[in-house]
A and B are shown apart, each in its own frame.
Chain A
Amino acid sequence: MTTTTIGRPVTVTRPPVRKPARWASRRARGIALTIVTWIAVLAFFFPVVWMVFTAFKPESQAATLPPTFAPDFTIDRFQAAFDRDMVPYLINSASASIGSTLLVLALAVPAAYALSIRPVKNVRDPLFFLISTKFMPVAASIIPVYMLLQAVGGLDNITWLTILYVGINLPIAVWMMRSFLAEVPREVIEAAQIDGAGLRTEIFRVVLPIVLPGVAAAGLICFIFAWNEFFLANLLTTQVARTTPPVLGSFVDGRGQFLSILSAASTIAIVPVVIAGWVAQKQLVRGLAMGAIK
């Protein structure tokens, strides 16, 4: 009886004595780790910060030794970039990326539907074929593409560039949509079929609402890849259909001068995709993993 009354306070008082110490060291470790994390993240993000920062510098303070950390801020270089006709290039980029993304989705969603929900005898062959085209460097068959386009007058033509982007993004979109559609509960579809719903109702009323986030994810990834595409745009367009990526290099000269305007033009060029990616982070992850992650 006495031992328990003596023993009890001991066991009760002990933890409060130890706990603060352990808790404090744990907390200190946590804070240290948070600081390390933030330093690493900011170091990683630094090139982006530096680009945007340089875009607000006058040209004379862009390339200095040591670097100018307190420049005379100006938005003059953004104005200069727009004055050098950036708008038509941005419009071309927008039409090629939005146009190709819509076309890709229109083709990929039904195809993925057939490959995941509807019975197709050999699912693997079309999937295998589609993804294998992604391994081939576009550069390997660029000569005939160039010559065919030349023959039909398709060089420097935004419609043809859009069509080629469909070819680039279609395989990944089918793969993504297939993964998303495979998650639609079988019972939901069967119920709709038993109710006598036609194919159109089955797709548009039953399945599509469920996989809409997946469609958004696929669309986002296709948009990003098309907006950022450089190789084909550089070779197949010259002036009328020129998109933004191949134009950026012309803002800087061969010795690295005019860094401010280059930074301003680059900042303008990355804004649509960066904002889209920031806003739709969840879709970005799912899309990037081609639907393999929930």
Chain B
Amino acid sequence: MTSGRRSLAISRALLWPALTVAILLTQIPLVATLYYSFQEWNLLRPGQRGFVGFDNYAKVLSDGSFLASLGNTVVVTGSAVVGATLLGLLFAVLLDRKFVGQSVARTLMITPFLVMPAAAALIWKWSILDYTYGMANWALSLVGIPPVAWNTEVPALTVIMVLIWQYTPFAMLILLAGLQSQSREVLEAASVDGAGPFRTFVSMTLPHLRQYVEITVLLATILLLQVFDPVAIMTKGTGGSKTLSYLLYERAFIGLEVGEAAAYGVMTVIVTIIVATVALRTLFKVFSAEGLMNR
């Protein structure tokens, strides 16, 4: 009994430093944002600060840019996650075979995920997708397709493409680990029983991969919901590429209304809490299925 209580005290002592730091670093700014969101506060008129109730929220909701941005975030994050997962699955299947240079190919494949996003965005913007000198338009011209002004004509697609390029390796690594964890005997048994490779893949491999796909989608969503770098560097939030992170940045550092910007922040937090609650439940389920939750 006493040893149980003592060991509980030790556990708390081990846990609290991390929790305290996390609370200080994430919750204090959040509470301050909440406080600011009820204030009239323009940086040009610092003397006229004061409580204005829900005025800032009314402005945010009537402005329309919040909902537009929310939609953009769903489209950009959603397409990037789906695209990266599908491409990642394709590459995982290709790289799961034994072939000449397998490990070199795998090493090359993971590189895009390791490339600094700011560098990736700049290289894609100027070296690959530039209207005049970009490699993409040059390659298109070889097959007779007229050049595309990627960064200005289809900004959202441009951002999605770069994100898919960076996150396909992420999906591939997790899904490849899933493929390699399949029991070889079961697959061989299926092949002896006369199941073709396609049938084996659909009826055995895909169900086995399910939890790996879930992990991929969830973690990629967490990472991509915050996407900012390619938007700021490549498109500056034009044409459907203005995600919530970029909108918040714009309101906070280009606009001068602190209160209104804070209200945008709070609205974003409310939406993410809703999304996160649903996603987290799935996450816990996945980790419980792995036997990692109930120890």
A interface, CB within 8 angstroms of B: 30, 33-34, 36-38, 40-42, 44-48, 50-51, 54, 63-67, 107-108, 110-111, 113-121, 123-124, 126, 128-148, 163-164, 166-167, 170-171, 174, 178-179, 182, 199, 224, 227-228, 230-231, 234-235, 244-246, 248-249, 252, 256, 259, 262-263, 266, 269-270, 273-274, 276-278, 281, 284-285, 288-294
Contacts and interface: CB of A to CB of B under 8 A. Distances in A.
Given A131-B280, A256-B126, A119 B7 contact: yes
Contacts of A227: 116
Given A140-B248, A285-B173, A47 B127 contact: yes
Given A110-B15, A111-B17, A245-B116, 17 more contacts: A44-B108, A44-B168, A48-B115, A54-B127, A65-B132, A118-B8, A121-B8, A124-B293, A137-B272, A179-B287, A199-B10, A230-B229, A245-B118, A252-B126, A266-B123, A289-B173, A290-B215
Contacts of A182: 291-292, 295
Nearest to B3: A193
B228 to A, nearest CB: 5
22 contacts: A37-B94, A37-B105, A47-B124, A50-B135, A66-B138, A107-B18, A114-B10, A132-B276, A135-B273, A136-B269, A137-B244, A137-B268, A140-B30, A141-B32, A144-B36, A228-B116, A245-B117, A245-B119, A248-B116, A248-B118, A274-B114, A292-B286
Describe B's contact surface by its main secondary structure.
helix
B14 A135 contact: no
A288 B174 contact: yes
A45 B119 contact: no
Contacts of A51: 119, 123, 127
Contacts of B293: 123-124
Given A118-B11, A289-B174, A34 B99 contact: yes
Nearest to B221: A135
Contacts, number: 320
B111 interface: yes
Interface residues of B, number: 105
B91 A44 contact: yes
A122 to B, nearest CB: 11
Nearest to A147: B32
B91 A41 contact: yes
Contacts of B128: 47, 50
B122 A137 contact: no
Interface of B: 4, 7-8, 10-12, 14-15, 17-19, 21-22, 25-26, 28-30, 32-33, 36, 90-91, 94-95, 97, 99-101, 105-120, 122-128, 130, 132-133, 135, 138, 165, 168, 170, 173-174, 176-178, 181, 212, 215, 219, 222, 225-226, 228-229, 232-233, 244-246, 248-249, 252-253, 258, 261-262, 265-266, 268-269, 272-273, 275-276, 279-280, 283-284, 286-287, 290-293, 295
A126 B19 contact: yes
Given A148-B29, A148-B32, A285 B112 contact: no
Given A110-B18, A119-B8, A292-B290, A48 B112 contact: yes
Nearest to B97: A33
Contact of B114 (A262, A266, A270): A270
B186 to A, nearest CB: 18
A274 B111 contact: yes
B17 A110 contact: yes
A84 to B, nearest CB: 15
A139 B14 contact: no
A139 B246 CA distance: 8
A222 to B, nearest CB: 13
B57 to A, nearest CB: 14
Nearest to B119: A266
Given A137-B225, A252-B122, A288 B117 contact: no
B273 A142 contact: no
A37 B132 CA distance: 31
B33 A144 contact: yes
Nearest to A120: B11
Contact of A141 (B33, B100, B174, B291): B33
Contact of B273 (A54, A110, A117, A132): A132
A129 to B, nearest CB: 7
Contacts of A259: 126-127, 133
Contact of A292 (B123, B258, B287): B287
Contacts of A174: 18
B160 to A, nearest CB: 15
A134 B290 contact: no
A135 B268 CA distance: 10
B114 A142 contact: no
A120 B118 contact: no
